[in-house]
Amino acid sequence: MPLLKLPDGPPIAAGRALHAAGRKHRGGAWKVAYADFVTAMMALFIVLWMMNASQPVKESVSGYFKDPRGYTKKQGGGPAGAGEGLLVHKNNVGEIQQQIEQALHQVPEFQKFSQNIRFSMTGEGLRIDLLENEQGMFFVTGSAEPTSAGAHLLASLAAELSKLPNNLVIEGHTDARPFRITAPRRAYGNWELSVDRANTARRVLDEFGLRPKQVVEVRGFADERLMIAERPDDARNRRVSLVLRFGQDNVTPAEASR
């Protein structure tokens, strides 16, 4: 009869052996089960929230899941520079104005020039007038060079206007004070200054994200269209105006001539 040989080393207790074996075979299945539980709870909370939500909220959620991209365009939530925002027209111009004003509040110098920004609705569209003061709020006095505040303001406007599909018109205006720099073979006056400031505004807007070809006109009026006609020398007559054309007028001059 063959002899049985015991294993070398100290004996192992039965309880310890069973515990070690159980620990060895235990996997990460509990993590999967826990993740399923958390997902189910989240789904339950969403269902409970939707059951108690208002009808507009239900329609919004339903519309987004049916057509995310199309619904974003409809609600004016497109990315900056995409021109996929809400088309501005006479019925929603107040909403768009509020949206732009909220963005301007984020400009560091807003409190400094808040009284120099004027919104108005005209037959052509939403007009944003940037009114100067005696010290030169948005442009250096007598120059087409923008100030720091003017550049920051135009950059913020570019971010908001680029979201909208509407065309943009930029105007330059001066007061009635004679302004003339005489140089050899060149005269520079209010007409040139008004056009140059409007065109500078266009370049800054383009630099900070305005969509290509969104600007369809750059106009210079010198002192022919005074904002404060009874005070033609008032500094507020010096202004750059951005006109966001209404949807029905959202055509280029070339298209309009066809």
- For each of the chain's 258 residues, which pLDDT tens digit applies? 555 555 565 655 555 555 555 555 566 788 888 888 999 999 988 888 878 776 656 666 776 666 665 544 444 444 545 555 668 888 888 889 998 999 898 888 888 889 999 999 999 999 999 999 999 999 999 999 999 999 999 999 999 999 999 999 999 999 999 876 655 556 789 999 999 999 999 999 999 999 999 999 999 999 999 999 999 999 999 999 999 999 754 544 444 333
Nearest-angstrom CA–CA distance, 110 and 48: 43
Q: How crowded is residue 108: how many other Cβ atoms within 10 Å of its Cβ?
A: 10
Query: Please, are residues 232 and 149 in contact by the beta-carbon 8 Å criterion?
Result: no
What pLDDT is stored for residue 26 in this prediction? 60
Provide the whole-model pTM: 0.65
What pLDDT is stored for residue 254 in this prediction? 45
Q: How crowded is residue 194: how many other Cβ atoms within 10 Å of its Cβ?
A: 26
| Closest by CA position to 75, among listed 90, 55, 57 | 57
Farthest CA pair distance, the chain: 129
What pLDDT is stored for residue 47 in this prediction? 85
Instruction: For 78-214, list the strands marked E by DSSP.
Output: 117-121, 125-131, 168-173, 181-183, 186-188
- Rounded to the nearest angstrom, the gap between the alpha carbon of residue 11 and the centroid of all alpha carbons in its chain is 75
What pLDDT is stored for residue 258 in this prediction? 38
What pLDDT is stored for residue 76 in this prediction? 47
What pLDDT is stored for residue 166 in this prediction? 94
Nearest-angstrom CA–CA distance, 30 and 27: 8
**Amino acid symbol at 226:** L
For residue 66, how many C-alpha atoms fall within 13 Å in the half-sphere facing its CB?
8
What pLDDT is stored for residue 56 in this prediction? 57
To the nearest 5 percent, what fractions of the chain are helix, strand and coil? 45, 15, 40
Contacts of 209 (CB under 8 A, 6+ apart): 80, 81, 158, 159, 162
Q: Give helix 55-66 / helix 29-52 axis angle, nearest 10°.
A: 130
